[in-house]
Amino acid sequence: MTTPLWRIAVEAPAYSANDLTGAGAKISGGRWNSIGTPLIYSAANIALATIETVLHVRSGGLPFNHFLVRIDVPDTVWASRLVLDPLPGGWDAVPSGMTSRATGDAWAASGSSALLLVPSVCVPDEYNVLINPRHPDVASITATTIRRWIYDPRFFA
């Protein structure tokens, strides 16, 4: 059995939408990682994945190079997930700051787990799931591109 996680991911020249190397986050950094640290950002459900990506879409029209990706995590890997608790002060700063990046970088470097659950800044009662592509358990995780993701234009009205 597996636990599904979800991404709305970009298809880019440097990596595919179903990439599990963390190449995109390594290039650009994110709330939970510095540039140079690979991570895979995912959400516990499609709705949260949508909200998270809408917040990062640049103005100037609808994005058309996004895809819905299902990530299947074996139950044994899911059982060994960690939950970030306690949360470091400033984890939810907007824009994101050094506190959350240092926390994510340290977790990734430690290799303590393949998965880290962190609360969403925009919906704090929901969880995003960070995947450490350098952890050996990631070899058993699969990612499948389901379909092109078309955002409802009302998000950008």
pLDDT in tens, the chain (157 residues): 999 999 999 888 888 999 999 999 999 999 999 999 999 999 999 999 999 998 877 655 567 789 999 999 999 999 999 999 999 999 999 999 999 999 999 999 999 999 999 999 999 999 999 999 999 999 999 999 999 999 888 887 7
Query: How confident is the model at residue 113, as a pLDDT?
Result: 98
Query: How confident is the model at residue 13, as a pLDDT?
Result: 85
DSSP single-letter state for residue 68: E
- Give me the domain span that covers residue 98: 2-156
Count of structural domains, the chain: 1
Residues whose CB is less than 8 angstroms from the CB of residue 66 and which lie 6 or more positions away in sequence, other chains included: 8, 9, 10, 11, 17, 53, 148, 149, 151
Helical residues (DSSP H) of 80-154, grouped into ranges:
98-110
Look up the pTM and report it.
0.94
Query: How confident is the model at residue 123, as a pLDDT?
Result: 96
Residues whose CB is less than 8 angstroms from the CB of residue 70 and which lie 6 or more positions away in sequence, other chains included: 4, 5, 6, 143, 144, 146
Query: How confident is the model at residue 147, as a pLDDT?
Result: 97
